[in-house]
Amino acid sequence: MSTPDFEATYDELVSESLEAEFTPSLADALQEDEPVTQQFKRNLLVATTEAIESRTRFIQALETEHESVRTVQKAVIDIEDMLQELPACTLGCLQFERFVDIWETYEEAVERCDQRSEQRQHHIAERQTIDEHANVGAHALNAYLYSDLKTQFPALHALAKTRYRIEQCRGEATGPASHALDGNCDSGVGASLN
C-alpha cells in the first residue's frame, strides 16, 4: 500500500495509524505485499466497521459535550445578566419586601447554579458508561478537550465562580448600608432617613 504523503500530511507513520485503527496483524498485512484472502477481507471488514462505529460514538460524545457546555454557558450568562440588574443595596436602604424579593432572586440563582452543576456532574459520570466503547473515558474526554485550559472541567469551574459571585452579592446585601448615602437605593427605609 503506497502512501507517500501520509506522514507529511498527518505527522504520523502509516504503520502507527493502522495499528491504532486496527490490530497489529491487520496493519502489517495491509503494508506488505501478501495475497489478499477471504479471511483477511472479512477481518478487515469487521475491523473497519468497528472503527466506523467507534468514530460515530466519539462524534456523538463530542456533540453531547458541546450541548452540555452550551447549556451551562447559557445558564451562567443568564445568571450574570440577572445579577447585573439587581440593585447594589442592602437591607438598610431597601424596604423589607423589596429586600426579600432580591434575596429570593439570589436564592433562585444559587439553586439554578447548583442544579446545573449537578446535571453537569451527572453528564460527566454518565459518559463513563455510555462511552466505554468509544475509547473515551469520563475524564479522558475532558483531559483531551480542555488540556490547554487551567481546568479540565471548565463548565463546572464557571458554575462554581458564578455561585461564588452570587454569594458575594448576597453577602453584600446583608452588610452595612454603604450605598445609602450614594443615592443608589430604591425609595426605601434608607432613602427616607436622608
pLDDT tens per residue across span 108-119: 999 999 999 999
Q: Write out pLDDT tens, residues 65-86.
A: 999 999 999 999 999 999 999 8
Q: Write out pLDDT tens, residues 1-59.
A: 567 788 888 888 888 888 888 888 888 888 887 788 999 999 999 999 998 998 898 89
Regarding predicted confidence, which is higher, 141 or 192? 141
Q: Is 186 left (phi over 0), alpha (psi -120 to 50) or beta?
A: beta
Percent of the chain with pLDDT over 70: 80
**Average of per-residue pLDDT across 152-156:** 93
- Asked if 190 contacts 93 with a C-beta cutoff of 8 angstroms, the reply is yes
User: Whole-number mean pLDDT of the chain?
Assistant: 81
CA separation for the pair 7, 153 (Å, rounded): 33
Q: Where are the domains of the chain?
A: 61-193
pLDDT at 130: 53
Regarding predicted confidence, which is higher, 183 or 25? 25
> How many CA atoms lie within 13 Å of 164's alpha carbon, on the beta-carbon side?
6
Those residues whose C-beta lies under 8 Å from the C-beta of residue 184, and which sit 6 or more positions away, are 87, 88, 89, 93
CA separation for the pair 103, 109 (Å, rounded): 10
Percent of the chain with pLDDT over 90: 38
- Asked if 83 contacts 177 with a C-beta cutoff of 8 angstroms, the reply is no
- Asked if 192 contacts 93 with a C-beta cutoff of 8 angstroms, the reply is no
CA separation for the pair 57, 49 (Å, rounded): 12
